[in-house]
Structure formats: C-alpha cells, structure tokens
A and B are shown apart, each in its own frame.
Chain A
Amino acid sequence: MFLSLFIVNQSGGLVYHRPLSPLAPKIDTNDWLRIGSTFHSLHCLAAEAAPVRLPKNRNQRTGADDGIEVIDAGGMILQCLQTRTGMKFVITSTKTKEDCDLSAVLREVYLLYVDCALKNPFYELDMPIKVDLFNRGVDLLIEQYHSSGGSSRR
C-alpha cells in the first residue's frame, strides 16, 4: 500500500508532493517543504558517512550521485530514485506481503514527469508542479498498481 510521493529538485526545494492512499499521513505544506529539504541534505550526508564510496561519488550506470536509495524502517519503506540531473523521486509505502517493485514505480513516475511536465510549455523548470496531466497520470498509475496487485502494467 503506497503512502506518499514527493519530488525534490536539484537545489533541494520540494517540487511535488501527493498522498497516494487514504493511509497517507496528513502533512501541512510547510512541513512537506521541510521534509523535502531535510531529505536532500540527508541524501548528501549519507554518502560521506558510508563505509564504501563509489568511484567519483557517482553511480556510473545511472549517473546518479551517491546517496540514500532505500530507508527500511519498522513500519514502512522509503525508496528514492535520483536522476542524472539531480532530481530525486521519493516514494513511501507500507510493508505488505506482495513485494511491489518500488523502483519500477519511480521509473514510471519519472517517465510521467518527462512527458507531462517537461514537454508542457506552461511548466517552469524547478517550480512546483501544478500540471493537471501529471496529477491524472500519477493517480492512474497508482490505481493500476493497486488493482493489479503490484504487477507491472506494461
């Protein structure tokens, strides 16, 4: 069961947040902004604290910077996808029996972002995403994942 989705831009500012199911906690907008920038800083710090460093601090295959990928907590999992450009797509979900591939969900959200936000002339880069098409796409994606029980839709 998914909880929330949020997207942080390369400067650390929160660009998008959305509750994905009724279980998601109700968080105030200001708190969301704090969560976004805190996560951004933790992501960078984690690379310094890690015992094993990637060469040049980058994951050579995906081009992403070294940093937090998964936080496995008691009641939930947080997964982060960092793109080559420094955008971080983060999703949280509860731990359920069907193991949903969260990284696949994040890749699909990344695809939606590229299609609906970047190709839209009315969206300014690094600004909060207020694009109707993107919201519809995210809702549709989550619905398909919930109804198909975690299997991929393509």
Chain B
Amino acid sequence: MNYGRSNAQMNILDRPLPKVAWRSNDQGTVSLSAFAYLFSELVQYHQNKVTSISDLERRLEEAGYNVGLKAVELAAFRSKEYKRETRLMSILHFVSGTIWKSLFGRAADSLERSIDNDDEYMIVDYMPITSSYISVPSDLGQLSVDSYISGIICGVLQSAGFPARVTAHNVAMDENEMANAVASSNQLLVPRTEKAVFLCKFSREVLQRDAALER
C-alpha cells in the first residue's frame, strides 16, 4: 500500500513516529500533552452520543480493546525470544510489566490478588496518563476515564487466551503511596489524590485450566 513511497508523500498518520536521538528506547515517543488533547477529544466525542455514565465507560473500553488486541502482537513481534504465556500469574506479570512499559514507559506500580475472591486480581497505577489532567465533575459521579486502559487490558488478556472482565476504579491514596507517587513523578503540576485500580475478573474456564496445569 505504502511501499515505495517516501515519508513526505505518505499521509501524516501513516508515517512512523520520529526517532529522537537522545532517547534511550528505540521506539518513537509522543508528547504527553498531545495524547492528553487527543484523549480529551475522544471523551467529548463519545459523551455527545451517550445518555448514561456506564455507556460512556463502555465506549471508552471498546476503544481501548482494539488497542489491547494489537499490543500483544506487537510486543511478541518486538521481543527477542517470546514464549507464549500459558499460566495466569505469568500473563499478569506480562501485562503489568511488558505491556505497561511499551505503552506508558514504566511498569505498573503493583499487582495484587483479591482476598475475597480467588478469580479477581488488581493492577494498581498511581499515575495513569488518561486521567492525569481530567477531573470528573460531581454530576458524573463515579465515571472513570481510565476505562480506556481497562479496555486495553481486556484486549490483551482476550488475545492471549485469558478472557476476563476488567473494570477501572479510582481509589483514594494513603500518605505513603502519595509520597511515593510524588517522588517518582515531577511532571504534574497538581499531585494526584487518587490511584487507579484495574480489577480483572477472570472467567471460570481460565481458572479451571490454570488449576489443571498446576498439577
């Protein structure tokens, strides 16, 4: 389609991202502000078409789902020896480590297992880029724009063969976590007070298969 055409002739959206010489990673990066403006437009676009909060979250999840499906393929293609993950814990480490690094430039802040249910796991991020500049007005209640990221996680898990329901929740941070978050990030003018928790609820057959593999 685009073979043989130079960068100048291609549509700007099809051109590869510029590689900046002084950056250590070899993949091009985009400025956070550019992403913030684009994401803000995405949210506004969907907000005009929905009537309820859960609908808006669902549309953002669908948008992220497609990203997630492709992110796994890209990560597998780019890593040198990629063995397909078959165990539950290894796929969760893959998501919170490799996928997070390739998308956001750093690993997720923590991976936890829920005490109450054995099919629920939580990935915690103190500074999700989708909600860094967004404060939800009180009349929209519990809307979490991080549903975009939970859609990405859902797509990754689905594509890797671990179907799950992923939801995003905003949880207030306690003192220690706030100190850690502030220390690791100097970009934000206003420090965050809430962290994002992505709750992954795996389906029955995933747990059964994992238990069978254990033996």
- A residues bordering B, Cβ < 8 Å? 108, 111-112, 115-116, 118-122, 130-134, 136-137, 140
Contacts and interface: CB of A to CB of B under 8 A. Distances in A.
Contact of B133 (A116, A130, A136): A116
B40 A121 contact: yes
Contacts of A136: 190
A122 B33 CA distance: 17
Contact of A133 (B33, B36, B140, B190): B190
Interface stretch (B41-49, B84-92, B105-113): B41-49
Nearest to B135: A133
A131 B136 CA distance: 8
**Interface band, chain B:** 20 to 34
Nearest to B186: A154
B190 A119 contact: no
A137 B190 contact: yes
B136 A119 contact: no
B190 A121 contact: no
A119 B41 contact: no
B189 A121 contact: no
B193 to A, nearest CB: 8
> Most chain-B CB neighbours within 10 Å: which of A112, A122, A136?
A122
B186 to A, nearest CB: 9
Contacts of B43: 121-122
A119 B189 contact: no
B134 A120 contact: yes
Contact of A116 (B42, B47, B135, B145): B135
